[in-house]
Amino acid sequence: MLSKDLLEILRCPACVREKEGLLVLERDCWLVCQDCGRKYPIVDEIPVMLIDEGDKWIHTAADKLPVPPPER
């Protein structure tokens, strides 16, 4: 489980320079950017914060994301 402290400081790497890039925890294993909709998986309790990874899931609805996320 991701700590609240970490969740408060993490930001979407694609949005952070121009927007807030706030992330919301979805399904206990995904971080979803509130600005762009990119979705970043949490694998083995480590957020995978690569823009390319977030791009893979941008068109997938949050309720359709696989649990657990696929490993790379």
Query: Higher model confidence: residue 40 or residue 3?
Result: 40
The dihedral built from the CA positions of residue 7, 10, 13 and 16, taken in this order, carries a sign that is positive
Query: For the segment 14-61, what is each residue's pLDDT rounded down to a tens digit?
Result: 999 899 999 999 999 999 999 999 999 999 999 999 999 999 999 999
DSSP bridge pairs for 69: none
Q: What is the pTM of this model?
A: 0.91
pLDDT score at 72: 66
Cβ neighbors of 48 (< 8 A, separation 6 or more) are 40, 41, 42, 69, 72
In whole angstroms, what is the distance from residue 3 CA to residue 54 CA? Answer: 20
Q: Residues 11, 23: contact at Cβ < 8 Å?
A: yes
Query: Higher model confidence: residue 30 or residue 72?
Result: 30
Domain annotation for the chain: domains and CATH numbers: 4-64 (2.20.25)
